[in-house]
């Protein structure tokens, strides 16, 4: 009986943890794409100072989120994004504004791609 109870607890824990983890994954990547779109819009409107501040905020935010994601996902899948955001920050700091929109598009595409790989989908299971 003890083993059955343990198994039920384990099963419920796995399902609950899995669902919460997927919710967190979708929220995190969704927010990353939203934040990047906002910065891209600022760049289109040529508000580069504000874009620089938002990029720095996004970099710090992502570092916190990354630490949580790395508990449940392979680090290799997560670590690249911090480099891309830092690169975006670098373009703004060094006044290479032509590259900002290109960099934002790159981050958005990479985030969507990583979400596609990490999310629970039947094709990912197969």
Partner 1 sequence: MIYFFLLVTMRLMGKKQLGELQPFEFAITLIAADLACIPMSDTSVPILYGLVPILTLFVIHLVLTKLIKHSIKFRRVINGKPIVVIDSTGINYKTISELDMTINDLLESLRGAGYFSPSQVHYAIVETNGDLTVLPKSIYTPLTSKDLGLEVPQQASVPYMIICEGKLLSQNMQLAGISSETVRKILDKYDLKQKKVLLLTVTDNGELFLQPISKPAVLTSLNEVNNG
Of residues 9-38, those binding partner 1 (CB under 8 A): 10-11, 14, 17
Rounded (10°) angle between helices 98-118 and 75-93: 170
Site string for partner 1, 72-91 (x = CB under 8 A): xxxxx---------------
CA angle 11, 18, 33 (to 5 degrees): 175
User: Per CB under 8 A, which region of 7-15, 48-56, 86-94, 106-114 contacts partner 1?
Assistant: 7-15
CB of 24 vs partner 1, minimal distance in Å? 13
Structure-block tokens of residue 46: 């040529």
Of residues 52-71, those binding partner 1 (CB under 8 A): 70-71
Neighbours of 81 (CB within 10 A): 19
Radius of gyration of the chain (CA): 18
Of residues 93-122, those binding partner 1 (CB under 8 A): none
């Amino acid at each position: 009986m003890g083993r059955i109870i343990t198994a039920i607890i384990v099963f419920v824990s796995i399902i609950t943890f899995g669902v919460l983890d997927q919710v967190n994954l979708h929220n995190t990547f969704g927010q990353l794409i939203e934040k990047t779109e906002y910065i891209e819009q600022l760049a289109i409107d040529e508000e580069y100072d504000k874009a620089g501040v938002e990029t720095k905020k996004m970099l710090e935010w992502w570092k916190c989120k990354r630490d949580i994601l790395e508990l449940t996902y392979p680090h290799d899948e997560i670590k690249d994004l911090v480099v891309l955001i830092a690169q975006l920050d670098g373009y703004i700091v060094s006044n290479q504004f032509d590259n900002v929109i290109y960099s934002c598009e790159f981050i958005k595409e990479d985030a969507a791609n990583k979400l596609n790989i990490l999310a629970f989908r039947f094709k990912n299971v197969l």
